[in-house]
């Protein structure tokens, strides 16, 4: 049997298989058919062909009469069509591009950005060329801007979600790949149908947009294949394998959590139950404190009346502008953007779900507690002129302050726990400054009392403590004092840090990984003068000079730095063979 070369099944393809795949006419025929359909529909729309116009207007009127009186159905349809809006699509493309860039998949990131930009350019150009007005129905339930052909939501959704599908398809295997393809296809279809149901597009607008989207995806995928051929890489099937099948490890969103890999499912249930119990208890504390201040206080607890009046009496145009800036940074939209960016960045860097789950749990818990406490306490705003009008909630607690404090302190916790170096402590600056600035801006604008701010800080302290202790967001962070090795049974073992004399492993915290039984096997992974094993004379003369430690500060005189044992496997002869990664090495001392 011929041994497969490095790189797996994709690198093992023969030139004949690649030529056969490259000569397959199915992709070319599909793209060509889509281009022809779009061209024909565009010409018929531009010429206002009577049968097409009659069919489009009749379908628009009939559908509008069916759903105009169903408020719940209209709400659901609007929610679906929102998923095809420009803001959502560019958020998806931007987040995926950030993940690919952090993981150094530059070509795939560029492909996503170029493909999405193409849809953004084609939509207004073709709408101006066709010049078709939007449908006029008896009971309008939505309104669209600009011309009608082609549908911008339909075009953007098939291009953006289709590009994401082609890029991340290698990460799904087996039945999950079929589920992934079916899910994306269903979403694209529902968005296009929703535009017809809302009465803002004709049927031909959506069909033309889908045909154009398939054409553009085919053109960009073919251009991507040209770059692969130029780099000497094998031809792939984008629809069945994805654009870069060999990038599967970097396309998977996350790796299994090492700290909970062997935990039973009920362990996750206990964590979820603990979070829910903690949330209920903390909510009770916050509501009780609010009731105590509003009902049993004298009205001026901790300056609740004096401080808002002082701020109102000292307002200036400059301070008013800055208060607006920091209030906006603590508002829902800004908090949501920063939270999503934090989840994406930490997921891309750490390849673990734990940081993203921590941020999501923290922010959803904060939002739920804020809404519940505000609905129960119902504290009125300070009796001064408010600079923000028609706010939907009451004064206690401050939603801006709670969200800002939770989010930026959470970012500091993650950065300090996962990063290495002195600079990680700089994350404490926004964690302290942002809550202070947002609190001052909210009191300056007359929206909150000082005790509203204190209630928000109390909730943030308790909720951050509970979620951090239960979720342990830094459990898979960078080790600082010892590295971990993976033994043959898949379990984490203490890393090899020092070799004992007489060929015996040192006991205690510096022990050999499982499968390493002698000094020679322990040294087999060391970079010794370009050889797999050091000379026997070197072993006899300096057995204690070999170190494998994550930090070189403890061995400043050693020239061997930052060597981390990463995996252990069984050799074909039955003896253990230890694989290593040398971060930085040189000759022995």
**217 φ, ψ to 5°?**
-65, -40
Q: Measure the CA–CA gap between 210 and 34, rounded to whole angstroms.
A: 8
Q: Strand, helix or coil at 437?
A: helix
Rounded CA-CA distance 328/317 in Å is 17
Distance between CA atoms of 339 and 363, rounded to whole angstroms? 8
Whether 357 and 471 have beta carbons less than 8 Å apart is answered as yes
Cα distance between residue 323 and residue 329, in whole Å: 10
How far apart CA 382 and CA 264 sit, in angstroms, is 51
Q: Residues 57, 153, 309, 390: which is the catalytic one?
A: 153
Contact 373, 280 (CB under 8 A): no
Residue whose structure tokens are 């098939």? 158
Q: How deeply is 180 buried, as exposed, middle or buried, from its count of CB atoms within 10 A (0-12, 13-18, 19+)?
A: middle
Beta partners for residue 498, in sequence order:
547
Cis-peptide, bond into residue 383, ω within 30° of zero? no
Computed from CA positions of residues 138, 140, 146, 149, in that sequence, does the dihedral angle turn out positive or negative? negative
Short-list 531, 559, 536, CA closest to 546: 559
Q: Find the angle CA(165)-CA(166)-CA(167) to the nearest 5 degrees.
A: 90
Q: Which of 201, 418, 448, 449 is catalytic?
A: 201
Active site residue 321: no
Q: In whole angstroms, how far apart are CA 4 and each of 7, 8, 18, 412, 428?
A: 8, 7, 16, 46, 51
Give yes or no for a contact between 534 and 526, defined as CB atoms under 8 angstroms apart: yes
- Return the structure tokens found at 573: 């002869």
Are 569 and 489 in contact, with CB atoms under 8 Å apart?
no
Euclidean distance between CA atoms 279 and 426, whole angstroms? 30
Question: Active-site residue 448, yes or no?
Answer: no
**Contacts from 432-438 at CB under 8 Å and sequence distance 24+?**
434/329, 434/330, 434/404, 434/405, 434/408, 435/401, 435/404, 435/405, 435/408, 435/409, 435/460, 437/326, 438/326, 438/327, 438/329, 438/330, 438/400, 438/401, 438/404
Question: Do residues 359 and 339 touch, judged by C-beta distance below 8 A?
Answer: yes
Q: H or E segment at 582?
A: strand 576-584
Tokens matching residue 451: 């005790």
Tokens of 572: 């074909």
Find out whether 424 and 349 touch, Cβ atoms under 8 Å: no
Structure letter (DSSP) for residue 566: E
Token code pair at residue 234: 């094998």
Q: Catalytic amino acids?
A: 153, 201
């Amino acid at each position: 049997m011929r041994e497969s070369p490095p790189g797996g099944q994709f690198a093992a393809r023969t030139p004949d298989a690649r030529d056969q795949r490259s000569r397959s006419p199915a992709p070319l025929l599909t793209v060509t058919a889509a281009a022809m359909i779009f061209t024909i529909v565009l010409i018929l729309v531009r010429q206002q062909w009577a049968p097409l116009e009659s069919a489009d207007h009749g379908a628009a009127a009939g559908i509008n009469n069916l759903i105009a009186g169903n408020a719940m159905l209209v709400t659901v349809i609007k929610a679906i069509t929102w998923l095809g809006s420009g803001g959502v699509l560019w958020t998806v493309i931007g987040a995926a591009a950030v993940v690919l860039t952090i993981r150094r998949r530059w070509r795939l990131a560029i492909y996503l950005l170029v493909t999405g930009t193409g849809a953004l350019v084609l939509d207004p150009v073709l709408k101006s060329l066709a010049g078709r007005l939007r449908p006029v129905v008896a009971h309008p339930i939505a309104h669209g801007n600009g011309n009608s052909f082609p549908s911008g939501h339909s075009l953007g959704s098939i291009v953006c979600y289709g590009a994401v599908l082609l890029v991340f398809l290698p990460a799904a295997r087996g039945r999950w790949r079929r589920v992934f393809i079916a899910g994306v296809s269903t979403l694209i279809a529902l968005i296009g149908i929703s535009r017809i149901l809302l009465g803002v597009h004709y049927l031909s607008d959506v069909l033309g947009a889908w045909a154009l989207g398939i054409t553009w995806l085919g053109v960009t995928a073919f251009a991507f294949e040209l770059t692969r051929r130029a780099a000497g890489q094998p031809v792939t099937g984008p629809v069945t394998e994805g654009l870069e099948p060999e990038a599967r490890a970097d396309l998977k969103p996350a790796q299994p959590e090492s700290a909970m890999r062997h935990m039973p499912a009920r362990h996750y249930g206990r964590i979820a139950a603990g979070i829910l119990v903690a949330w209920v208890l903390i909510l009770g504390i916050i509501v009780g404190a609010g009731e105590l201040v509003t009902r049993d206080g004298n009205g001026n607890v901790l300056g609740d009346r004096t401080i808002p009046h002082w701020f109102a009496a000292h307002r200036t145009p400059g301070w008013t502008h800055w208060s607006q800036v920091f209030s906006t940074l603590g508002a829902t939209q800004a908090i949501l953007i920063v939270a999503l960016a934090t989840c994406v960045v930490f997921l891309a860097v750490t390849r673990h779900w734990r940081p993203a789950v921590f941020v999501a749990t923290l922010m959803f818990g904060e939002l739920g507690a804020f809404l519940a406490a505000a609905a129960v306490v119902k504290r009125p705003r300070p009796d001064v002129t408010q600079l923000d009008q028609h706010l939907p909630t009451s004064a206690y607690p401050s939603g801006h302050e709670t969200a800002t404090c939770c989010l930026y302190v959470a970012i500091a916790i993650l950065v300090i726990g996962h990063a290495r170096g002195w600079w990680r402590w700089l994350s404490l600056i926004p964690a302290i400054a942002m809550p202070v600035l947002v609190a001052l801006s909210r009191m300056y604008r007359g929206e909150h009392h000082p005790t509203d701010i204190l209630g928000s800080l109390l909730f943030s302290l308790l909720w951050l403590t509970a979620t951090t202790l239960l979720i342990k967001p830094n459990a898979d962070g960078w080790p600082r004092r010892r590295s971990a090795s993976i033994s043959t049974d898949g379990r984490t073992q203490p890393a090899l840090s020092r070799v004992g004399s007489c060929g015996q492993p040192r006991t205690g915290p510096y022990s050999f990984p499982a499968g390493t039984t002698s000094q020679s096997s322990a040294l087999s992974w060391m970079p010794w003068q370009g050889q797999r094993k050091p000379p026997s004379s070197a072993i006899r003369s300096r057995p204690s000079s070999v170190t494998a430690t994550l930090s070189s500060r403890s061995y400043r005189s050693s020239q061997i730095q930052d060597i981390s044992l990463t995996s252990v496997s069984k050799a074909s002869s039955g003896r253990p063979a230890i694989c290593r990664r040398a971060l930085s090495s040189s000759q022995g001392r």
